[in-house]
Amino acid sequence: MSSTVNIPPQFEVIDRPLDTQMTISFGPQHPSTHGVLRLEMVLDGEMIVRATPDIGYLHTGMEKLFEYKKWQQGIVITDRMDYLNPLGNNLCYVMAVEKLLGIEIPERAQTIRVLMCELQRIASHMVWLGTHALDIGAMTVFFYCFREREKILNLIEAASGGRMTPSYFRIGGLMMDLPAGFERRLKQFIAGFPGSVKEFHTLLSGNTIFQKRTQGVGYISAEDAIDWGLTGPVLRGSGIEIDVRRTNPYSSYETYDFDIPTEQGCDVWARYMVRMRELNESLKIVEQALARLRPGPIKADAPKVVLPDREAMKTHMDALIHHFLIVAEGFDVPAGEIYHPIEGSKGELGCYVKSDGGPKPARVHFRGPSFINLSALPQMAEGEMVADVVAIIGSLDIVLGEIDR
């Protein structure tokens, strides 16, 4: 950002360091920290000398809790981890367990999973966009974003019964099939959403204030981004085309046609543009998934793992027995360990699952993308103005539930 205005010498910004440094505590209760993040900032005037994140204010002990719950009960816990992308968490955990079990998922279930995950990605990006803009000072975008998000939440609620904590994906398939009328409502959403994206662009992308607040702020080079382990839109904003959907495809993502948006700017603006373009790509995948929805089973053929249909339970003795055993005692998962990565809305969401052959996990660990992305904040914030920290945090799209777990 080079200034073209000639500043009279008496108004020139003093850029020599002051001899006093000030430490301020930013958060944990602060509207722009997206939860309960705390930053310990050492300031030199208004310039940040050092910003040290202090996390753990939302530590929930989830990984411990997993070890005390049966395999299928763990799905409920994953909902509450990254609560903006619960279906992604469901998918990550469920697929890791399915890998250990060696279960093949029917095509319709896979398609619905892809469809719902992409809808969830859009919803997650809506919250990011609304709050990011709100932090920087544009309040209107927030209302527009939540209007669109509400439409997606209605769809998710129609399918799963829950707005934010759906637990829709189960080990071996889905909880239930899509309800009647879902496709019609989804088509309505698909028809209206591109217009909304245009609205967001009108509100923000051409806004000079927004550009000035974001361009050149929070720089992180591609080499540093890889070294810090950044993933998702943050990495792609630094010009690296890495997307787990492409590099390690799952749920037959390799059969979908979509682009991976990248930007070369390495700054907050680049990350903003990557996510904005991802909205359209996700919508493309949703359209494709909708087009290939064919009637078929939504649960794998594994009676010892997958709950039987209600109808079968009433008519078949063995289905009733299986149902009782799964609910009362759970099912055993072969011993072994799996690290399963998926592309969450914030980056590579990895689930490490270790089983010792019993009905409960021996260890479940989540690689939260927000956790890693936040760890690079000190480097991005160093030398920036204190007001820009808010923009940088917004551009990382952190969710404290996932960071602290």
Radius of gyration of the chain (CA): 23
75, 91, 97, 127: which one binds another protein (CB under 8 A): 127
Q: Which of 211, 219, 288, 352 touches another protein by CB under 8 A?
A: 352
Contacting another protein (CB under 8 A), which of 92, 100, 159, 175? 100
Residue closer to another protein (CB basis): 22 or 321 = 22
Strands (E), 19-78: 22-26, 38-44, 47-54
Cβ 102 to another protein shortest distance, Å = 8
Query: Rounded to the nearest whole angstrom, what is the least distance from the CB of residue 318 to another protein in the complex?
Result: 29
**Closer CB to another protein, residue 319 or residue 403?**
403
Q: Does 324 bind another protein (CB under 8 A)?
A: no
SS3 (DSSP) at 354 = strand
C-alpha distances in Å from residue 25, one per residue of 38, 180, 220, 388: 7, 52, 24, 16
User: Closer CB to another protein, residue 224 or residue 309?
Assistant: 224
- Identify the residue among 212, 337, 357, 383 touching another protein (CB under 8 A): 337
Match 């039987």 to its residue by tokens: 308
Stretch that binds another protein, among 53-61, 203-211, 294-302, 304-312 (CB under 8 A): 53-61
Amino acid at 50: R
At 24 the three-state DSSP class reads strand
Shortest distance, position 165 Cβ to another protein, whole Å: 6
Sequence letter at residue 175:
M
User: Exactly one of 172, 218, 394, 401 binds another protein (CB under 8 A); which one?
Assistant: 401
- Minimum distance from residue 201 beta carbon to another protein (Å): 19
Window of 172-180, 209-217, 271-279, 396-404 that interacts with another protein by CB under 8 A: 396-404
Assess 367 for contact with another protein (CB under 8 A). yes
CA 94 to each of CA 75, 101, 336: distance values in angstroms, whole numbers, following the listed order:
7, 10, 15
Rounded to an integer, what distance in angstroms lies between the CA atom of residue 67 and that of residue 361?
A: 5
Neighbours of 166 (CB within 10 A): 21
Give the CA diameter of the chain: 89
- Spatial CB neighbours of 188, under 8 Å, sequence gap ≥ 6: none
Choose the stretch contacting another protein; rule: CB under 8 A; options: 8-16, 296-304, 338-346, 381-389. 338-346
Q: In the set 18, 25, 259, 314, which binds another protein (CB under 8 A)?
A: 25
Closest by Cα among 259, 290, 266 to 215: 266
- In the region spanning residues 229 to 258, those forming contacts with another protein, defined by CB under 8 A, are 229-230, 240, 242, 247-250
User: Applying CB under 8 A, does 146 fall inside the site for another protein?
Assistant: yes
Of 281, 350, 290, which Cα lies nearest the Cα of 88? 350
Count how many residues are written for the chain: 405
Closer CB to another protein, 4 or 20, in the complex: 20
3-state class of 185 per DSSP? helix
Contact region with another protein (CB under 8 A), list: 196-204, 211-219, 221-229, 284-292: 221-229
Q: Taking a C-beta distance cutoff of 8 angstroms, is the pair 237, 265 a contact?
A: yes
Q: Which of 183, 209, 339, 382 binds another protein (CB under 8 A)?
A: 339
Identify the helix (H) or strand (E) that includes residue 180.
Answer: none
For position 68 contacting another protein by CB under 8 A, the verdict is yes
Is residue 234 a contact partner of residue 344, using CB atoms and an 8 Å limit?
Answer: no
Q: Which is nearer to another protein, 319 or 349 (CB)?
A: 349
**Which two three-digit tokens encode residue 293?**
């929805």
Please give the size of the binding site for another protein, defined by CB under 8 A: 76
308 DSSP assignment: P
Least distance between another protein and beta carbon 295 (Å):
28
Contacts of another protein in 149-208 (CB under 8 A):
149-150, 163-165
Interface region with another protein, contact rule CB under 8 A, candidates 72-80, 201-209, 257-265, 289-297: 72-80
